[in-house]
């Protein structure tokens, strides 16, 4: 058995999961193909200029604490996409994985939230609880550092990763810590995806086999970049008519 049985040379994005019917999903797919643009998740919610939002009151292990503007893809061979399409949508666009690397695509890191934490002494019992506690400790340290610095150097008006030469040392340290915490939130913690081992394969919360990859921000493409388009059989001829400049493969969605 070759590696192609397990992973794909393509990354696939499915559209229209929240839409009510196939007609609406096809209309969205057609618009995306005509504009050459996949909009990042949370873009409308966060507004222009923002790449993420962190909620310190929510837990990492609940997958709701950090929202990043990104486009999600799955790394699943075409022949094994049936379960994934049942959960999301049978309308998809695939791109060569090598092409996606140039746009910053990288896989998320999966963590079994119900795995035992093998730490010493009394503390978190699971891996999910341990990551949640670690994040709280970092937040607490930042809060305490801010209070200490304010008592010695006053409250900083601005925080910079690279501070101007006349910046008080405490404010300089606060700027460096703030930048580090921001990177941890969005580039490390934001790339974690927690799941519970033991869920059925078709359970909506069984993320592990999706092998999700993310592209930061939105994703621009031209028709020649597309490795394949996936649609239900009744939309294949219509797609060729609506998109005459696309000469690549169209794969019929086999949802089962």
- How confident is the model over 12-59, as pLDDT tens digits? 999 999 999 999 999 999 999 999 999 998 888 888 888 889 999 999
Residue 256: pLDDT band with limits 50, 70, 90: low
- For residues 107-139, b (16+ Cβ closer than 10 Å) or e, as one string? ebebbebbeeeeeeeeeeebbbbbbbbebeebe
Quote the pLDDT of residue 1. 33
In 130-205, where do the E strands start and end?
Answer: 192-195
- How confident is the model over 103-143, as pLDDT tens digits? 999 999 999 988 998 876 677 889 999 999 999 999 999 99
pTM of model > 0.85: yes
Quote the pLDDT of residue 2. 45
255 vs 127, residue with greater confidence: 127
The pLDDT of 98-103, averaged and rounded, is 93
């Amino acid at each position: 058995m070759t590696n192609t049985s397990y992973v794909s040379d393509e990354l696939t994005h499915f559209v229209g999961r929240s839409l009510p019917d196939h007609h609406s999903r096809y209309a969205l797919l057609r618009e995306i193909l005509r504009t050459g643009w996949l909009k990042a998740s949370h873009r409308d919610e966060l507004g222009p200029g923002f790449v993420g939002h962190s909620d310190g009151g929510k837990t990492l292990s609940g997958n709701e604490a950090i929202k990043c503007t990104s486009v999600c893809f799955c790394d699943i061979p075409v022949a094994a996409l049936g379960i994934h399409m049942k959960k999301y949508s049978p309308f998809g666009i695939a791109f060569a994985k090598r092409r996606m690397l140039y746009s910053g695509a990288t896989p998320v890191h999966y963590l079994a939230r119900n795995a035992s934490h093998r730490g010493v002494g009394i503390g978190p019992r699971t891996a999910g609880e341990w990551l949640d506690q670690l994040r709280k400790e970092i937040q607490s340290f930042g809060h305490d550092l801010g209070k200490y610095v304010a008592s010695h150097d006053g409250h900083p008006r601005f925080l910079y990763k690279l501070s101007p030469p006349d910046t008080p040392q405490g404010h300089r340290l606060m700027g460096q810590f703030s930048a580090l915490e921001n990177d941890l939130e969005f580039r490390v913690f934001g790339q974690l995806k927690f799941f519970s081992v033991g869920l059925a394969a078709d359970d909506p919360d069984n993320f592990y086999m999706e092998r999700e990859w993310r592209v930061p921000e939105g994703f621009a493409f031209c028709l020649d970049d597309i490795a394949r388009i996936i649609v239900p059989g009744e939309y294949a001829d219509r797609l060729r008519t609506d998109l005459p400049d696309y000469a690549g493969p169209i794969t019929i969605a086999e949802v089962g």
